[in-house]
Each structure stands twice: as structure tokens, then as C-alpha cells.
Amino acid sequence: MNKKPPYRLDRYPDLKNVDIAELVSIDKKRALSEGVSNSRNMPEFKKGERNVGILLIHGFTASPFEMSELGEYLNSKGFTIYNSRVVGHGSKSVYLDKLTYRDWYDSLKYGYFTLKNSCKKLFVIGQSMGGLLALNVAYYNDLDGVVLLSPALDILDSRFDFVPIAQYFVNSIEKEYSDTSNLKEYYYGERSVKGMVHLKYLIEYTWEHKDLLKKPILLFHSKFDDVVNYRGSVKFYNEVSVPKELVLIDDPKVKHILSSSLNPRKEEIYKKILDWLEANDVEK
């Protein structure tokens, strides 16, 4: 059993000369090959009038649906958005059994280069596990800033520490009641244990390589997050030496998912993200 994350991540291969339509097509074909049938679980590219791209990354067991409201808001403000699908998601959780955190990271290159090839500036926004992936995209590739929504830097459930052992005895774990239980078209009702092992690896990898972060970050976390310990975000914020801003939400109605209507204060966060993007020299 590996004690350290088994895979090293690296800079994406250069796809600057690949046509945008082809990049989007490849990404969608991968989704179809994994049985994605719901159109809201497919990756989506929307051009905006600004010369600025936003790569959106959803969380573990979620789908692009999770980031769609935020994407629509930013697109309405003129930004070009790519709502990515992390491989293994948006279909059946069994697909996560054979994929690694490196596969998750690599799958984002199509959205990254779709935006890189069409925009002058590029930002990435990630929810939960998507926040970890967003940081790693920033560690190794060229972009202008990162927005983190409840980044999964410290899982609250102490049982998570034992998933490397549990993978040898069970394949999946049913989710307990959550705010996504009525959204089963977009969120898996169970968690792949092997997928959770790689989520654990990704958390460890992200912490180990935090000194690679050189771009500004805006970090949001609710003190009442019931999945991820907000203190992990505070610790990460304190340990990175980049231009940074931390927004802690002290409201018991606000839980883990900040990117959608599951967050009753989403409008405040959307506006804060917009203001931060424009303050970071985004072309108007």
C-alpha cells in the first residue's frame, strides 16, 4: 500500500495548435464513452465578449451541473467559460474505480487549452475536490489566478483516513443524507472507495506541493461546512506566499457546496468573485 501519492503531476502537453472545436469534441466524446447521457453533466464551452476565460471544476462525485449556475452568471458578465467534467463523473460511480487523481488532473487539459487558445487571460475556479485540482492546474500551468470554494484540504469524517484499507473489503459506500440527495441525476448516491483513496492522495499531493503556487488566490469557506474542515483552508491560506484573500462565512445555513443554489448566499459569493476578477486586471 502506497504511503505517498503514487503519481507526480506535471505541466500539460502543449495543445496550443489544436483547434478549439476539436478540443471540445474530444472532451465530449470521452464523456459519452463513459456513459454520460444527461446534457447537464457534459462539459460545456461558452464564449463571452471579454477576452478572459474561466475554467470551472466541480467536486468529487458531482458533475458540471454543480458549477453551471456560477458559469452562467460569469458568462452573463461577458466571461468565456469552460465548465469541465472531471473524468469518472456524471455517469456511474463505478467509473471512479479504475481512475486516478492523475487521470482527473489530465482530463482538464481540454478545457484549459480551449480557453488558453481563445482568451488572453485565464482563471480557474474549483469547488471542493475541484479546488484541489484547480490548485494543481495553477502549480504547473500558466494562468492568472485561482478561486477556491470549500477546497477539500481536510476532510471532517475521521473514517476517511482508513479508505486505503477499506478498498480491499468494499467497493463503495452509500452517502448518508445530504443536501444533494434530491439531485441524483447530477451527484452519485454512493462513493467509490478506490476513488476516495485517490482523493486522499490528491489532498496529500496538494499540500506537499503548495510552494509551487505563484498566482493570486481567493478562498471561500463556511465555518459550518459539514464535509470539509474550514480550518484546513485557514491553514493553507496562512502557509502560501501569494497575493491572497480569505472569506470565512459565519452562517449555519451555508454548508459545503458554495457554487449553486444549495448555498442561500450564492449571490454574495458570485459578486465577490466578479469583483476579485476585475481587481486582478481582468479586461473589461
**pLDDT tens-place string over residues 186-198:** 999 888 999 999 9
Residues forming beta bridges with residue 46, ordered by sequence position: 81
Whether residue 284 is predicted with pLDDT greater than 50 in this model: the reply is no
Whether residue 136 is predicted with pLDDT greater than 80 in this model: the reply is yes
State how far the Cα of 266 lies from the Cα of 194, in Å rounded to an integer. Answer: 32
Whether residue 117 is predicted with pLDDT greater than 50 in this model: the reply is yes
Please check whether residue 54 is in contact with residue 149, taking contact to mean a CB–CB distance below 8 angstroms: no
State how far the Cα of 44 lies from the Cα of 37, in Å rounded to an integer. Answer: 14
The amino acid occupying position 62 is A
The average pLDDT across 205-214 equals 98
The H or E element containing residue 234 is helix 230-239
Please check whether residue 79 is in contact with residue 50, taking contact to mean a CB–CB distance below 8 angstroms: yes
Q: CB-hemisphere CA count at 13 Å for 242?
A: 22
Residues forming beta bridges with residue 246, ordered by sequence position: 219
Residue with cell 443536501: 179
Query: How far, CA to CA in Å, does 33 sit from each of 95, 162, 212, 240?
Result: 11, 32, 34, 39
pLDDT digits (tens, 9 = 90+) for 72-103: 999 999 999 999 999 999 999 999 999 999 99
Q: How is residue 262 annotated by DSSP?
A: T
CB contact set of 19 (below 8 Å; sequence gap of 6+): none
pLDDT digits (tens, 9 = 90+) for 145-179: 999 999 999 999 888 888 889 888 888 888 765 67
Please choose, from the candidates 126, 55, 63, the residue with its C-alpha nearest in 3D space to the C-alpha of residue 89: 63
CB atoms within 10 A of CB 229: 17
State how far the Cα of 142 lies from the Cα of 144, in Å rounded to an integer. Answer: 7
Cell of 1: 500500500
Q: How is residue 36 annotated by DSSP?
A: -
State how far the Cα of 83 lies from the Cα of 73, in Å rounded to an integer. Answer: 12
Q: Give pTM, 2 decimals.
A: 0.96
Whether residue 221 is predicted with pLDDT greater than 60 in this model: the reply is yes
Quote the mean pLDDT of the chain. 94
Please check whether residue 15 is in contact with residue 23, taking contact to mean a CB–CB distance below 8 angstroms: yes
How confident is the model at residue 149, as a pLDDT? 98
